[in-house]
Amino acid sequence: MDASRYDLVALRAVLEPPVLGFADLHTHCDLDLVCPACLGRGLPSPTLDGTKRALMTGSRSQARDPELPGVAERLLQTQMRSISACDQIQDLLWAAEDPHDHEKGPSGYRQFAQL
């Protein structure tokens, strides 16, 4: 994935609510394991200091720009609970795609993780 094709500022902003949602879904100590397991290496494991919300905020801010599209893809596959957030993330990912570069047909179908 070539991160330069993405609106990284908008992607980072739209990823904030679902990433912060991890604080509500997991225990304080589990966040260190959950970030890499669910979101891959693109979202750094939080340190164990501070509130769960502060840990996830720090982890999101430390994520490198080239990793953000991959984090967004993994969020869509595993943790999305909000349809509107899912739509916003997909729109940003699809905006960076070349519409003529689809070997398997158009990818413009909304997908939702099993809840």
- Between 42-51, 64-73, 88-97, 103-112, the lowest mean confidence (pLDDT) is in 103-112
- What's the whole-number mean pLDDT along residues 5-13? 91
Task: Tell me the C-alpha distance between 69 and 6, whole Å.
Answer: 8
- What's the whole-number mean pLDDT along residues 4-33? 84
- How big is the CA angle at 54 (ends 20 and 35), to the nearest 5 degrees? 55
Q: Are 54 and 77 in contact (CB under 8 A)?
A: no
What integer pLDDT is reported at residue 26 of this predicted model?
82
- Whole-model pTM: value is 0.74
With a cut of 60, say whether residue 60 has pLDDT above it.
yes
Nearest to 43 by CA among 67, 25, 12, 16: 67
Three-class SS of residue 11?
helix
Q: Are 28 and 48 in contact (CB under 8 A)?
A: yes
- What's the whole-number mean pLDDT along residues 33-37? 70
What integer pLDDT is reported at residue 106 of this predicted model?
47
